Amino acid sequence: MTFDLAVGRQGAIMTTSPPPSPGSRPTLVTVDIVVLVVYFLLVLAVGFWSMWRTKRSTVDGYFLAGKNMTWWPVGASLFASNIGSGHFIGLAGSGAAAGIGAIAYEWNGMLMVLLLGWLFLPIYIASGVTTMPEYLQRRFGGRRTQLFIAVLSLFIYIFTKISVDMYAGALFIQLALQWDIYLAIVLLLSVTALYTVAGGLAAVIYTDAAQTAIMLAGALTLMGFSFAEVGGWNALMEGYANAIPSVTVPNSTCGIPRDDAFHIFRDPVNSDLPWPGVIIGMSVPSMWYWCSDQVIVQRSLAAKNLTHAKGGSLMAAYLKILPFFAVMLPGMISRILYTDDVACADPELCKQICGNPVGCTDTAYARLVMELLPAGLRGLMMAVMIAALMSSLTSIFNSSFRSRASEWELMIVGRVFVLVLVVVSVLWIPVVQASQGGQLFIYIQSISTYLQPPVSIIFIMGCFWKRTNEKGAFWGLAIGLLVGCIRMLLDFIYPAPLCYEVDDRPAVLKYVHYLYFSVLLSFITLVVVVGVSLVTEEPKPEQISRLTWFTRFDPVEPKEHVFTVERSSKASEVITSQTDEMGVTGREEAASNGKACGSQERWGPCPSRLMSALYWLCGMERRTEGENNPVTPPAPEPAICSLEEKPRLRLVVDVNLIICLCVTAFIIGYWA
């Protein structure tokens, strides 16, 4: 078959065999479908089981899983929330396209999640907050900084998480089942939303723990098949350098493997990932994600105490070693085994193979699954991809609700808002597909460097510099985000040229790598925060006490609002406990409406059985109000913001911290 290269691309005629048609590739068979069904039943069973174990009608029960999680489900949930289907598709695709360089993001994350456990979590726990916007409101006062970051976080979720994971999962499903992409998305979102909306964070964490085990088992199994097929480690090292597609563009680097493919520290000027940017520019947005993002921090705050939260960070850090072996290296092997398809260089040919003219490297992992694994195991890996997608989406869905919203708002407004997030993310998918030369993982990181550094600086200064005030934080955030958004818009207006095109972008794009821009953006934000804070009034004492690293051990001040029914989640616990003592729980009320409707209902007249079931599904037991059922203000409970640790357990986690840091330093140094 002959392909004529377009005019203006150093035209030449090269020949190759035609790409295989989609119908000639393996598809899922009955055994695979059975495995998928069993997986869905397992996830739903775990999710609904967790619904019965926690008080979902309270703030702590719904958003922090009752603050009773031990270290292992916390660590598993941290890992599963981070490793989405975007990782399986994107990280393997980056390995196929440019070698191991992108794994630096994963190993940088190992250090950042440890910073979360040892530096940031003590502050958050001491402050007694349940969400990151709540911390900002208490630390700086006012609402504009809190609202600013809350809205920004939702946009970041749309640009870098929801749309990316849905696209990656749909790409895999399309290859495996030949389904319509949007049909697959609707199915996955329906199941995911069901147990997230119903069960709260407990359902998310327990299902994340189950899905982490499934992800690791499936990924490690595929890694074994991949290395067996390629011929081992030496064959990988030699074969990758020679994995050049049959059709290439003459006088260009299209389809040619990089010389520095097996190094993570690369040329500081001309490479795709310059090493100074990897060290500094990569760390600042990574610190936002691991140390101040609601999705991640919420899991750690659900731990029963600081020691278990640290243990969860350690477990997540150790697990972060695995994507290199279980995801990235198989992606590189896929390029060796299926060079003409995965590493296609000609846009017209790529369009025929995968529907994306900028490249097909993101199909590397899915191609391995469908070609190498036998029936049954293909179904397992399909479950792995769905697990990765669902674990990321459940994290975002649960974290997107307002913890201080009214019950009715939580049931209606919060759930509907998730649907808005999803719709906008689906509309953004075509932009994701065409960005960063078809490297999904690099797209994620570039967007992160434009939006996340200002937020990182705000949290760092708020936690570790007592003089930081609200005006400094707000204007630093506003100016930093303005600069970052300008760069992001320029990136979309002037996309990076393909390998055969001349780079005629503006100088700020051509000569300032996005990792270097991250450093510049962080410096600009820091200067504004410090300058404005110094020329304006100092923060009030209540904005400092137990809200910074240096004041985390201050005495706990009694809070009047814990005695009010309107704002205290404990009030709902007391009411629920009273009805439990009478032998009438919310679930039993749904089955005996006649008894429960004797007095005025909170939500009006006695609801139908359908509405009663809906209330229960959303964790909202109906409660009565009136003279015959008074609400007694709860007695004050011990503070849940203690930083006390048992000396022996603290020694165990500290020793493991040193070991983990040594392991991280070794693997980075070895591959640098």
> Residue 633 has what pLDDT?
41
Tokens of 421: 């997030």
Residue type, 134: E
Judgement on whether residues 406 and 311 belong to the same structural domain of the protein: yes
In this prediction, residue 143 has a pLDDT band, given cuts at 50, 70 and 90, of confident
Judgement on whether residues 221 and 277 belong to the same structural domain of the protein: yes
Judgement on whether residues 91 and 148 belong to the same structural domain of the protein: yes
In this prediction, residue 19 has a pLDDT band, given cuts at 50, 70 and 90, of very low
Does 573 score more than 70 pLDDT?
Answer: no
Q: Say which DSSP state 2 is in.
A: E
pTM of the entire predicted model: 0.78
In a domain, 370, yes or no: yes
**CB of 621 within 8 A of CB of 649?**
no
pLDDT 10s digits, 25-43 = 566 788 888 887 887 777 7
> Residue 50 has what pLDDT?
62
> Residue 436 has what pLDDT?
56
User: What share of the chain in percent tops pLDDT 90?
Assistant: 37
In a domain, 637, yes or no: no
Q: Which residues make beta-bridge pairs with 13?
A: 4
In a domain, 554, yes or no: no
Does 283 score more than 50 pLDDT?
Answer: yes
CATH number of the structural domain spanning residue 506:
1.20.1730.10
Name the domain boundary from 617, 637, 658. 617
Tokens of 420: 């808005």
> Residue 478 has what pLDDT?
95
Of 27-41, 305-319, 394-408, 617-631, minimum mean pLDDT range: 617-631
**Is 561 exposed, middle or buried (CB count within 10 Å of its CB: 0-12, 13-18, 19+)?**
exposed
Name the domain boundary from 581, 601, 617. 617
Element of type H or E holding 416? helix 413-434
In a domain, 5, yes or no: no
Rounded Cα gap, residues 16 and 19, in angstroms: 9
Dmax over Cα atoms in the chain, in whole Å?
Answer: 89
Judgement on whether residues 569 and 538 belong to the same structural domain of the protein: no
**CB of 524 within 8 A of CB of 480?**
yes
CA distances from 43 to 40, 188, 205, 212, 382 (A): 5, 12, 11, 12, 14
* Average pLDDT taken over every residue of the chain: 77
Tokens of 278: 């990897």
Judgement on whether residues 476 and 574 belong to the same structural domain of the protein: no
In a domain, 639, yes or no: no
**CB of 257 within 8 A of CB of 241?**
yes
Does 576 score more than 60 pLDDT?
Answer: no
> Residue 268 has what pLDDT?
93
> Residue 54 has what pLDDT?
54
> Residue 391 has what pLDDT?
59
Mean pLDDT of 144-156: 83
Q: Say which DSSP state 303 is in.
A: B
Judgement on whether residues 538 and 568 belong to the same structural domain of the protein: no
Does 392 score more than 70 pLDDT?
Answer: no
Judgement on whether residues 588 and 488 belong to the same structural domain of the protein: no
Q: Which residues make beta-bridge pairs with 310?
A: none
Tokens of 288: 């936002």
> Residue 431 has what pLDDT?
73
Rounded Cα gap, residues 86 and 171, in angstroms: 10
Residue type, 335: R
Element of type H or E holding 188? helix 181-230
**CB of 298 within 8 A of CB of 538?**
no
Judgement on whether residues 478 and 605 belong to the same structural domain of the protein: no
> What does R_g of the chain's alpha carbons equal in angstroms?
26
In this prediction, residue 206 has a pLDDT band, given cuts at 50, 70 and 90, of low
Of 181-195, 328-342, 397-411, 606-620, minimum mean pLDDT range: 397-411
> Residue 88 has what pLDDT?
83
pLDDT 10s digits, 436-470 = 555 778 888 888 899 999 999 999 999 999 999 99
Judgement on whether residues 579 and 512 belong to the same structural domain of the protein: no
pLDDT 10s digits, 493-543 = 888 887 778 888 898 888 999 999 999 999 999 999 999 999 999 999 999
Rounded Cα gap, residues 553 and 546, in angstroms: 6
In a domain, 574, yes or no: yes
In a domain, 527, yes or no: yes
Mean pLDDT of 383-401: 62
Tokens of 167: 């696209």
Tally of domains within the chain:
2
In a domain, 16, yes or no: no
Q: Say which DSSP state 363 is in.
A: G
Helices then strands, each counted (H, E), the chain? 33, 2
Does 569 score more than 50 pLDDT?
Answer: no
Nearest to 199 by CA among 75, 348, 316, 45: 45
**Domain containing residue 578:** 564-617
Judgement on whether residues 413 and 504 belong to the same structural domain of the protein: yes
Tokens of 182: 């949007």
Q: Which residues make beta-bridge pairs with 15?
A: 2
> Residue 352 has what pLDDT?
84
Does 610 score more than 70 pLDDT?
Answer: no
Neighbours of 231 (CB within 10 A): 13
Write the CB contacts of 323 (distance below 8 Å, at least 6 apart in sequence): 83, 87, 91, 103, 106
Q: Say which DSSP state 494 is in.
A: S
Judgement on whether residues 600 and 653 belong to the same structural domain of the protein: no
Q: Which residues make beta-bridge pairs with 69?
A: 303
Judgement on whether residues 608 and 503 belong to the same structural domain of the protein: no
CA torsion sign, 597 to 601 to 605 to 607?
Answer: negative
> Residue 59 has what pLDDT?
47
